[in-house]
Structure 1
Amino acid sequence: MNWTDERVEMLKKLWADGLSASQIAAQLGGVSRNAVIGKVHRLNLPGRAKSGGQAKVRTKRPAATTPRAPNYASRTTTRSVGRSSGATALKADTEVVAYQHIDTRPVEDVVVPISRRLELVQLTEKTCKWPNGDPLQDDFHFCGNDSDESSPYCGYHAKLAFQPSSERKRSR
């Protein structure tokens, strides 16, 4: 297929009207979407979206909260976002509102068990094997509290060691 002057003028008109490369290819007939995109690039036709400004970040914080109330933080961001239309990257101003839920737990929910301070040779199948301290120091010990048969740790240390994958992803 050759690009005749009439077809190029029709391409320019349809491009200016805001049709997609697929729609233009269908109207012209006998030409692929990729061929339309290539010709648009070779003709240096302008993009159809308004190009960018600077990114602005505004953060709103709630008033002081009690320790039991969940803490919510929101952030409104205005930024230029690249949008791909065929092979033509266009910029458009987009306002994005992101909310982040911060879960604060009451102090009463956290109960750290008192360690029995066992050494390695004192551990059994039913004792918590959570290490405390630096193994190269004299004060190194293991938790030693009672553990389930299915876990090497007591209930408290099992919650620390085995977090659901969704919580690990959120904390990053």
Structure 2
Amino acid sequence: MREIGIPHPRLSLPPGGGEDDMGEFLAWLGEAIPLVEHLGIREMTRDGDRLAWQLALAPSLNDKGTGFGGAIAAQTTLLGWCWTTLWLRRHGYARDVVVAQATQRFLAPVTGDYRLECLPEHDDGVAGLTERLASRGKGRIALVQRLWCGETLCLEARGDYAVLPAG
């Protein structure tokens, strides 16, 4: 059980800056952030710069029988945090990541299980983060999350994620 004010131990970096095992990362995430086990995450995959979750709607139902905006907002914020953390790990950085700003725009009700995707907002986002980490030891990246229920785009979100300096 997690204790308030006590950081959870970091997951060891993958050997040689390699890929994380997504199942292992999700298991660690569930220990580090107890809310994760209640989010309905079924699967996490990555394709290039796109990180995606498949989610069950049932844990996030509202009183109308559709997706609860607060739960979905938490999911988008956490997916961006995961994107940034996994990118750092792949590049050999064990750093703290925090969300600096997040917004959501709800476009349609979420009426069934769904897919949530995250990727950099700008084509040069990764290059900019890489440069700032090298020159200043810290950085920031803007990410976009999109929630798809079947072929319907139900939500677009944006977040700025700050990578804190080592130490």
TM-score by length of 1: 0.21
Higher relative strand content: 2
Larger Rg: 1
Higher relative helix content: 2
TM-score by length of 2: 0.22
